[in-house]
Structure formats: structure tokens, C-alpha cells
Structure 1
């Protein structure tokens, strides 16, 4: 069957934006058109496809099964066309842009080294880094707004249908500032509950590993908690308070070497989670994304072999 030539680029862009926003109003704002225009374009597309693509409700819209099936192909189609247009714009093509989603587990050491090596080899390359929880980054990867996502994400249900490549394993650890009262003498685990606790956000992949470590330690979570994915905020708060940080080891590795932070020895080691790269095999990778993928693999190998950091 031939493709209906009445299906236009605007139909696909409208469909993808509504799927991304989950709301006709927000999609209209993003595309700078009226909500009736969005509704009309969607109705045209559904009529051309002879299928209902969205379920409407008071809270917004959600994809039907037909919509999910169409999303799998519409996203790559639009992205491929955008890549083709960009390839004809000499300035953009020569410099190249890679859009990398970064989870908090890798933003302290892995990603800075990856960017350093990329810029050393490709001086005009633009590396656009987006941070956030795995659910958000994987959703952006699925619709083509990101090229790659790096970090711990294997426990996220949104990874289904995407491709994950393991780089190395990383454990969680409990750290405090130098001179913390818990470092003064033999550790009583029950005393851990007397201090504020810094944890990843609830519902994130890394939080599951942190909660697992808490259970293994046999302690209860204190009422005073800071829940965040910001490594910078966590570090600063711990350095200026008596808080305990359940941190990914890479986030505190250099602080431990400098003696600014110290590990709390519990006699238990969290087994570690898989840090890796997620990609969308339904979307073609740009040349810049291939460069980034190669360097991520290279730095990951250096991690496994103890060459870096």
C-alpha cells in the first residue's frame, strides 16, 4: 500500500508534540499555534490513518495502542528528515551537535572526561547535556529529542524497547564531612538515625539502590531528609552540616581522595548497579552521536581497567 500523500510533515510534528506533552494546550504553546488548530490537525491525521491515536480525558491525552504503534515510526521519520536538512547546512554539519542525557551517577567524573576527549578530537563539536531523572531522559530519547542517555537506568520500566549497553558497575556508599561526630569512635549503627540523610529522589533508579543499602544496614530513615538528584547540592550540604550522604561512589571519589569527605565503614558493601549507555535503535545516530558513543565506550573501558580516574 502506498503512503497517503495527504499526510504532511505538520501532521507528524503535531502528533509527536502532543504525545510528548500529553496535553493539547501545552503542545499548542510549544508549536506556537492555537489549540483548535492542534485539534484540527490531529483529527485530519486520524482520519487519514483511519485510527484513533489519543484517548482524551480531563487531565489531558494519552496514546492509544494505535498511537503507540505509530509513534514508533513517526519519531524516526521526523528525526531522519531533520538530520537530512541539517546535513545540508554546512556550518551545523561541520561542527556537529550531540544531545546527551546524563543521570546524576555519571555527571561528576565520567561525563566531564568524555566531553574533554570529544573536544580534544573534534574542536567544533557542540555537546548538549540534559540532566534529570531516568524516566524523563528515557522519554526524551524515545521521541528523538536526545541521541544517547548515560547512567544507571536498567531498573526503569521505560527502558523497554530501547537498547542498553553496559559500561561498568558502581556501588553506593555512605559519606560524611571530615571531622563528623560519627568518625570519632566505634560506630553504633543506630546512631545513624540521629543525623539528616541525603538521598536520591524517590521513584528513581538510583533511589532503589540507596533504599536497598539502608535495609541491609538495618537502620530506619530519619525524619530529616534531603532528597535530590543534584550532586552539587548534595556535596555542599554535606560539607556544611552533619548530614549523611548515600552517594554513588563516582560522585564522591575525588572528595574522598582529598580528605574532604570520609566513608562510614559499615562492614557491608552495596553490590553496585550497571552504569551504561541507552540508545534508540529505531532512530539513526548522527556522526556526532557516533563520536560520543565511541568515547563513552572508551572511558567506560578505562573505568573497568582502573586507568581512569
Structure 2
């Protein structure tokens, strides 16, 4: 549906809400009153709701218009130029997602000449080159990539507005896209998803697994609504907000029957064995390194760097390697005694697990409901004082403290 929307008509809707009449809106957006009226009727038919009550004193926005107008304003802010059309937005995003004109044509059903023309017109409207030939293929200029991100964020806002209107109509539809870093998948995220689905069975939930570097750009592009996992210190930038949910204290894990099992090992004992650790630059690697540096010991041998819990588990079971993980990540393996908790990490070595969102992100009603379930799961799913770590509720109180 959104592909058939007219950006000029959307701009007029926002102007009517802001100014109170079609006459004032027509002057503000440089469209004739008949064109606005016709476009408004078409948009209302597409949405299946009235956006305005036509009164003698002017146009009274309905609840649907009050939900949609802020989304339109935010989308238009991302797009920037009033000369840009929805067809041009669609063409640029299709080319970015397809990687070639042939693939973009297959994705959209539009002919390649039509796509070429739309992108050429867009470059003229923006007064910048967006696409350039590179050998036998194409590439995007720096400005082109900047506009791709802007258009993706605009699309996300309009889709959120559409979802809010469907919710207003009594239909629990929409989609929540979540980036899941390793620890979040162990307990808290599944608890939140299960509780949310029971309340909103009609809402689609899409979970993308990955490391921080694989997820942060999709979040910035608007392809992900939020990321759940270990927070970054320092934060990843002023365009991303972090909310702590709970503290996690990792443990040293080895196989059942490991030489250090059940013997209260010293840090020197731990340093004498080879390790599997997460890649450098991750919070868990930094904790592992600090664990030995604070003890005044040289770092142990690390033949394998790995961020996959599944792979680490299999490697541990068949060797004398050690690793540092949250017990939640290998809870089943510990309960079945495939793996053994060799020791707790030293006191103070904790990770802050939380949620990352784009700065200024305005969740829809169902997205806000999911975030609330995530907060509840964090409070319920982490035992107070487990292994000496503060409870999730304590973390939230710390986060709210001045």
C-alpha cells in the first residue's frame, strides 16, 4: 500500500493537521485545493479510515490523522527535499537492496529504464550524484549511501504510522524487528517474546541473530527496531540510545572431568590452560583480559577466538579448553553435566545487558508493549543477587538514579 502513496499528498495531510484547513495547507505545500481534496479522498480510501471531519469552521483531524501526521513529518524530515517522489524513494531503496538494476527490477516489477529514469530524476532533485559506474557494476556515492539511510528511516516511519492506524482499527498487525546478541537469546528475550505473543498474537516478530557489528548498522538504517545484548562502553554514538536491563556476571566454564573441576583453582591455575574467548573488541573479551591483568598475570594462550556458543560448547566437551560465558548461555549443558562451572569470574567483572534503540525512536503502541515485556522479563528472569551480581531491578534503579 505504501508504495502507492503520494508524498505531496502526505505533506498536505500533515499541513492540514498543523494549520487546520485545506486552504492554508494548499498555500503551504503549493498544491491546489482540488488536488489536495482528491488526494485526501484517495489516501483515506487506501487506509480505510477518515482522517478529517469536515466542519464549517475547518478540518478537524481524527485520531487516525493525529497518529499519522507526526510519522509523516518525521518521514519528510528524513527525505529532506519536497521535490522527491515516492517512486524515486522506491527506486533508490530497490537498487540498494538488489545491488543491480536487473535485481531491482525483479524486486519492484518496474522496468530497468523506468528505474534509471527515476534515479536520474532523483539525482537532479537532490543536486547530487547518487549512483556511479564501477567496472561492469554500479556503486553508490557517499551522498547516495546517506540518502539510502534517510529513505530507509522515512520508510520505517511511514510503516509505523500504517501499523498504528491498523491497531486503531482493531487489528493487531505490524512487525517488530529485534537484533539479538548472544546473551539475550539465552533467557530474557525468549521470555519477553513468549509473553508478548500471548498478548498480541497477530503481530509478527522477526529476530535477527548476530554480533554487535553485524546489527548496529541495520538498527541505524531502521531495518531493526531494537537490539538486545551487552551494552557498549563507550556508547556507539550519539545516534544510538542504550537502556540497561540487568547485570550479568560470567563464569569460567570447562568440560565435565576437567583437571580444574571441583578444586577451587587460582588465577594462575586458570592461566595455565588454553582458552576459547570471544573476538577482541567485544565486552566479554575485555572482561576476560581484565581478569588476568588485575591478577598481575600474563594472558593465557588463546588458540581459538569464537563468538558462537554452539561451537564453543562442542569444543569444550572434547578438550581441556576453558572459556568465560554467562551460565545462562549454557544452562542446559550445565544441568546435564556436559559442561562444568569451574569458577566464578572475579567479583566486579560484570556485563551490563540492555536494549539499544535509535536516538529519538518513537515506538508504535505494540512496539512499546514489547519493550515493556522486555523490561518485565529482565526483572523476573534474573535472580536477585545471583553469583553476587545485582538484580535486574537494582540495575533499573541505578539507571534512573541521577
Please say whether Structure 1 and Structure 2 have the same fold, judged by a TM-score greater than 0.5: yes
Q: Which residue of the partner structure matches residue 32 of structure 1?
A: 106
Q: Does 1:215 align with 2:293?
A: yes
Between the aligned partners of 1:92 and 1:178, the Cα distance in structure 2 is 54
Residues 83 and 242 (structure 1), Cα distance of their counterparts in 2 relative to 1, 3 Å cut: same
Q: Deviations over 1:269-298 (max 9, x none)?
A: 352122111122444423332221011111
Between the aligned partners of 2:214 and 2:263, the Cα distance in structure 1 is 43
Q: Which residue of the partner structure matches residue 49 of structure 1?
A: 126
Q: Does 1:274 align with 2:352?
A: yes
Look up the SS of the partner of 1:141 in the other structure. Answer: helix
Q: Which residue of the partner structure matches residue 293 of structure 1?
A: 371
Between the aligned partners of 2:250 and 2:133, the Cα distance in structure 1 is 42
Between the aligned partners of 1:72 and 1:282, the Cα distance in structure 2 is 15
Q: Which residue of the partner structure matches residue 11 of structure 2?
A: none
Q: Which residue of the partner structure matches residue 265 of structure 1?
A: 343
Larger Rg: 2
Alignment of 1:153-192 (within 5 A): 153-155=231-233, 158-183=236-261, 185=263, 187=265, 189-190=267-268, 192=270
Q: Which residue of the partner structure matches residue 222 of structure 2?
A: 144
Between the aligned partners of 1:216 and 1:202, the Cα distance in structure 2 is 18
After alignment, is 170-179 or 25-34 more displaced? 25-34
Q: Which residue of the partner structure matches residue 99 of structure 1?
A: 177
Q: Among 298, 301, 311, which residue is 1:233 paired with? A: 311
RMSD (Å) for aligned C-alpha atoms: 3.9
Between the aligned partners of 1:12 and 1:52, the Cα distance in structure 2 is 15
Q: Which residue of the partner structure matches residue 276 of structure 2?
A: 198
Between the aligned partners of 2:266 and 2:178, the Cα distance in structure 1 is 43
Residues 190 and 72 (structure 1), Cα distance of their counterparts in 2 relative to 1, 3 Å cut: same
Query: Does structure 1 conserve the Cα–Cα contact (< 8 Å) formed by 2:182 and 2:209?
Result: yes
Q: Which residue of the partner structure matches residue 81 of structure 1?
A: 158
Between the aligned partners of 2:321 and 2:104, the Cα distance in structure 1 is 41
> How many pairs does the alignment contain?
302
For structure 1, the 5+ residue unaligned runs are none
Query: How many Å apart are 1:78 and its aligned residue?
Result: 1.3
Query: Does structure 2 conserve the Cα–Cα contact (< 8 Å) formed by 1:192 and 1:219?
Result: no
Query: Does structure 2 conserve the Cα–Cα contact (< 8 Å) formed by 1:199 and 1:207?
Result: yes
Between the aligned partners of 1:28 and 1:211, the Cα distance in structure 2 is 49
Query: Does structure 1 conserve the Cα–Cα contact (< 8 Å) formed by 2:291 and 2:349?
Result: no
For structure 2, the 5+ residue unaligned runs are 1-27, 30-79, 385-390, 393-402
Residues 108 and 260 (structure 1), Cα distance of their counterparts in 2 relative to 1, 3 Å cut: same
TM norm structure 1: 0.77
Residues 87 and 301 (structure 1), Cα distance of their counterparts in 2 relative to 1, 3 Å cut: closer
Look up the SS of the partner of 2:343 in the other structure. Answer: coil
Between the aligned partners of 1:95 and 1:285, the Cα distance in structure 2 is 14
Q: Which has the higher contact order (CA 8 A, sep 6+)?
A: 1
Q: Deviations over 1:105-129 (max 9, x none)?
A: 2111111211221223233343211
TM norm structure 2: 0.61
